[in-house]
Structure 1
């Protein structure tokens, strides 16, 4: 069954990421023959990119067909690196400048120990249809959580050598993003207004009451108790009490909001479909909304070490003047 849902990051007219994923097995049980390596493509830097992370001063971006791009000059020039799986990659997380993980379709989990230069497969199961959408690791690089479609939740306590599946919700809504407001707390956002909170680094979870029943595609941490959750139809909700209550924030757009970043100066940037770029100079309380002239669909944003802002989406990484 293929389900093309608003929770699966649609990015442009006619474009919906049809997800194929899986339930977990131990990393050592991965059947390598079912995976094909990503093709080194001349136009990889102009292809759909869905997420990025900082590995020290390096930028690491992931996207369709298993493409992983690196930039060592703050986003000006990008190069593709070899990847052992060609599944679309949706999320990436680093615990320090060397150790990182990327996740995506076919429930693929990849690991790097050299800042993204090379990758190995820790987990994959292409037979089932539950993709992974995001991954988060603690600073120790041992405890990690990957989340995805239909409530898929995998965790590891040994750096990804083994991954175990848990059910943390009675529903099977998609989990689209996971964040760490503090070293001890975790927040998951997803389909149908899903808001899940953990006060003990994921050991136990509580469903938060949500005033919105549409899909959240992503969230940002503004402070230990302050979060923004955003998604379908330009909806933005803000909490300043650890998720106990939420307030709607005016976005001035109906474009789906897919990703964003909190910048070093405290300003906030959100991006989405139809080239939507929302900026806030007051910590995410109000936003000014613009649309890029090219209307390129945007999936995420990241700030480089030099302060340069990079938009990620349908046409690859795009430097954004501020």
Structure 2
């Protein structure tokens, strides 16, 4: 089954999920059952957001933007004017939306998507997420660890923060002053002055953090790969990890890296039925070892690791990653496109 990349619920019963191969799913019973909707595209779909039970948008690779006005019974393509992968969409109201993506793409519509207008920014990082408190003021984050803010509806952008070697995956504000950003290597950033200053509250132990949701200025949740879930009740100063009971995997498994192809980093999930020393090595297509990702003891359970092409000085091409533990070795192929 294709990966699912985004989910959006309008109430406790009704929601949508999107992912690979143009896949759109809808549930009306809290996720107990999911029905397939016809997207009309084979492209990877990255983000879904709904304004109400009828009206929603989906963004995807190669400039795809879809809109429905009947709960997803039919989806129509909109002209994004972009050829790049569009990673996220943000709804302000029925007319005003923002979408962000590769090559510094920032798009805005003021007529519900009939026309999308590029709002230029002097940066080519892949924009992964955006958040706006009104039609003029908002923030964007992406793959180069940069946070940009606009107070002019996207006419101008100010660089507020830069964290080297970080992917910033999600951003959210509860008011004009208080907001959070999460990313890889356990990155958690918080501001209480509209982004003039960002303070780090993260730790590498938190892993690869990809999404967050705050219900007020004090209470929120952050989630990431390998089932990572964090909760705060003091505005993000400290976080707790809720106890989650997971069954021990029945066998060793090594997943395909995601995303694939990738640039510059990717994540791989794996499962261990028993504790032991795990070695992960990286090889080029000729079979020559180019890096040891790690060689460490791991407990039984579900885990993940990250491969950063920049860290290992990798150029574009096909690579093999191999996991070895307890006399068993599993190898998979991945593609780096730079």
- Residue 222 of structure 1 contacts residue 228 of structure 1 at CA under 8 Å; is this kept in 2? no
- The SS at the match of 2:162 is coil
- Which has the greater radius of gyration? 2
Relative to structure 1, is the Cα distance of residues 307 and 119 closer, same or farther in structure 2, using a 3 angstrom cutoff? farther
Q: Distance in 2 between matches of 1:231 and 1:193?
A: 9
- Offset, 1:153: 1.8
Q: Any conservation in 2 of the 1:91–1:133 contact (CA below 8 Å)?
A: yes
Pick closer, same or farther for the CA change 1:239–1:311 going to 2, 3 Å.
Answer: same
Structure 1 or 2: more helix by fraction = 1
- 2:298 corresponds in structure 1 to none
Corresponding residue of 1:287: 198
Q: CA deviation at 1:248?
A: 0.6
Shift of 1:280: 0.7
Cα pair 1:106 1:124 within 8 Å, conserved: no
TM-score by length of 2: 0.63
CA RMSD of aligned residues (A): 2.3
Q: Gaps (5+ residues) in structure 1?
A: 1-85
Alignment of 1:246-257 (within 5 A): 246-257=157-168
Cα deviation for residue 285 of structure 1 reads: 2.9
Q: Which structure has more RCO (C-alpha within 8 Å, separation ≥ 6)?
A: 1
In structure 1, the residue matched to 2:86 is: 175
1:150 alignment counterpart: 62
- Matches of 1:107 and 1:256, distance apart in 2: 25
State the distance in 1 between where 2:88 and 2:49 align: 9
Q: Establish whether residue 214 from structure 1 lines up as the match of residue 129 from structure 2.
A: no
**Change in CA separation of 1:306 and 1:224 when aligned onto 2, cut-off 3 Å:** closer
Match of 1:277 in 2: 188
1:20-72, Cα deviation, whole Å (9 max, x unpaired): xxxxxxxxxxxxxxxxxxxxxxxxxxxxxxxxxxxxxxxxxxxxxxxxxxxxx
> CA contact under 8 A between 1:269 and 1:278: conserved in structure 2?
yes
Name the residue aligned to 1:91.
6
Q: State the partner residue of 1:196.
A: 107
Change (3 A) 1:307 1:123: farther
| TM-score, scaled to structure 1 | 0.66
Cα offset for 1:302?
Answer: 1.2
Q: CA deviation at 1:115?
A: 3.4
1:106 to 21, 45, 48: 21
Aligned length: 233
